[in-house]
Structure 1
Amino acid sequence: MGSTRLRRPLAPSNAERARSIASRGGHAAVVGLDQTQRVVPLLHHMDPDGAATLLLPTDHELMTCVREGPRSGLPAMLELTDTAPVALREPVRGLLWISGWLVAPGPTYARRLALDVAEKRPHPRLLDLGHGASLLRLRPGSAVIADAEGTGPLAPAELSAASPDPFCQLENGWLQHLEEAHPDVFSSLARHLPEPLRQKSGCRIRPLGVDRLGIRLRVEAEDGDHDVRLAFESSADTAEQLRAQVGLLVGCPFRAAH
């Protein structure tokens, strides 16, 4: 008989994970081509296809560079950092890079963009538009996602066709509550860890993320951190289904992990 190969648990696609990172917001920075300059916008919002609206001080050097740059736009990259829902010693759990061209929209288009952002994600800083702050628009060319599930390139059409995970806006509060009020859940989940991790002493199991296909754990050990995905029995689309799937994992010792 041949050796048995462990199957990697199913995870959301690269595009779905990227859309989830964008929907959560997170920390954003505009990175120049030389990788040395990082500009943190006052506000950012990404559309489904990766196009982004950025609010910056009107007198910022980047605003001047874009206005005086080529008509096709100034090459740049927007970096979105996705962090864990609880305080981990290594808090970054994913990165999304959108490469494209920065352009400065005219006053009429800028107001329309601001209204569009306000409908989706109201923010008081939008009131500063025209009063010390101006908008830039990133036209996307390509994207790259990198997290514990893998690294891969994405086209704007792939991003636009995908949907964010149904729990991407809820997972932070839910996992924070789970760790604070129900730490026994993670003690029960420990039995699903790969054998080498189960044998380590002094490990601490922390919540890293949850999505429709499984729960992600961070195992903090003396020799470093290890990310593990536990797959659900079936996809969860509602909060009730999510609770049921986590309950199955807590109560059943025979689940695949990586």
Structure 2
Amino acid sequence: MAVAPARTAELSHAERIRSVVAAAGSLSLTTAGASYDLIAMHTVENGRLTLRVPEDTPLAAEMVCAPHGALGALVEFTDVAPVRARDRIRARATLSGWLTQSGRGHGNTIVLGLDPARVSIQWHGRVEHVGLDEVFRAEPDALALQEAAMLGHLDDDHRDVVARLARLAAPEVRRGVVDVRPYAMDRYGFTLRYEYAQGHRDARLLFPAPVRDAAEVGVQVEALLAHARHCRGASHS
């Protein structure tokens, strides 16, 4: 069983971008003329970001007036931890490129597609630029769409489980801790956030094996809890 620094056994930058975009319910879009917050208007189809925008909106009007039918745009997705914790913003994925109209949607909507020129991810205080081909080939993490609900359930209803998992961190991480939150989860394991009177620190709890879907998480959590019981028993022997 492994407990490791938060950057061990992580998603690739491209996978993280795809995961953030897949899980997001909203995005921020900036053009030369305005900024927009779009809620529940985007999908990813064949690796391409697609927007369905009401035709009576300012963004649709900008699109109609765009030279050569292409509107320069910067799109940002913010990944926020689904539980109460310090510094809840975990990552920001940014795509910049050109919006073009690819058709009409249901009702009075137009369908816009983004042809990206640059893609980046801000994570752990650094901005990483990622190649377009790498992002296109990557897939969202196996738990990307279920992570928020699973972490929320764990944090709201199973604080005892979080407390037991927290024992797996090194003694120097646990020392002086006032609260622990299940901050993130992907196919490789959990990231727990240990909060102190001053500051916080993350620790990575790796599953015995990466999961392929949400149905496999329970078995991996039980294995971690069994290891936590063993560690606790050994400390009292």
The TM-score bracket by the shorter chain reads 0.7 to 0.9
Relative to the length of structure 1, the TM-score reads 0.75
Map 1:1-258 to 2 at 5 A: 8-32=7-31, 37-42=34-39, 43-49=41-47, 51-71=48-68, 73-103=70-100, 105=101, 109-111=102-104, 114=105, 127=106, 129-130=107-108, 133-148=109-124, 151-201=127-177, 203-253=178-228
User: Quick one: which amino acid aligns to residue 19 of structure 1?
Assistant: R
The CA deviation string for residues 77-135 of structure 1, in whole angstroms up to 9 with x for no partner, is 111112222233433222111111122x2xxx423xx4xxxxxxxxxxxx4x42xx433
The CA deviation string for residues 9-30 of structure 1, in whole angstroms up to 9 with x for no partner, is 2112111121111211232010
Contact 1:233 1:245 in 2 (8 A): yes
Alpha-carbon distance change, 230 to 6 in structure 1, aligned in 2, over 3 angstroms: closer
Q: Which residue of 2 aligns with 1:121?
A: none
Mapped partners of 2:153, 2:32: distance in 1: 41
Structure with greater strand share of residues:
2
Q: Which residue of 2 aligns with 1:123?
A: none
Mapped partners of 2:31, 2:193: distance in 1: 32
Relative to the length of structure 2, the TM-score reads 0.81
Mapped partners of 1:75, 1:196: distance in 2: 49
Alpha-carbon distance change, 177 to 79 in structure 1, aligned in 2, over 3 angstroms: same
Contact 2:80 2:91 in 1 (8 A): yes
Contact 1:26 1:81 in 2 (8 A): no
Identity %: 29
| Stretches of structure 2 lacking an aligned partner (at least 5 in a row) | 232-237
Post-superposition offset of 1:6: 7.2
SS at match of 1:252: helix
Moved more, 244-253 or 161-170: 244-253
Post-superposition offset of 1:149: 9.3
The CA deviation string for residues 204-229 of structure 1, in whole angstroms up to 9 with x for no partner, is 11112211111112223332333332
Aligned length: 225
User: Quick one: which amino acid aligns to residue 101 of structure 1?
Assistant: W
Mapped partners of 1:167, 1:149: distance in 2: 23
Mapped partners of 1:163, 1:195: distance in 2: 36
| Stretches of structure 1 lacking an aligned partner (at least 5 in a row) | 115-126
Alpha-carbon distance change, 24 to 44 in structure 1, aligned in 2, over 3 angstroms: same
Mapped partners of 1:32, 1:195: distance in 2: 49
Alpha-carbon distance change, 208 to 149 in structure 1, aligned in 2, over 3 angstroms: farther
Post-superposition offset of 1:72: 6.3
Mapped partners of 2:198, 2:93: distance in 1: 27
Contact 1:215 1:230 in 2 (8 A): yes
Post-superposition offset of 1:152: 2.1
User: Quick one: which amino acid aligns to residue 110 of structure 1?
Assistant: G
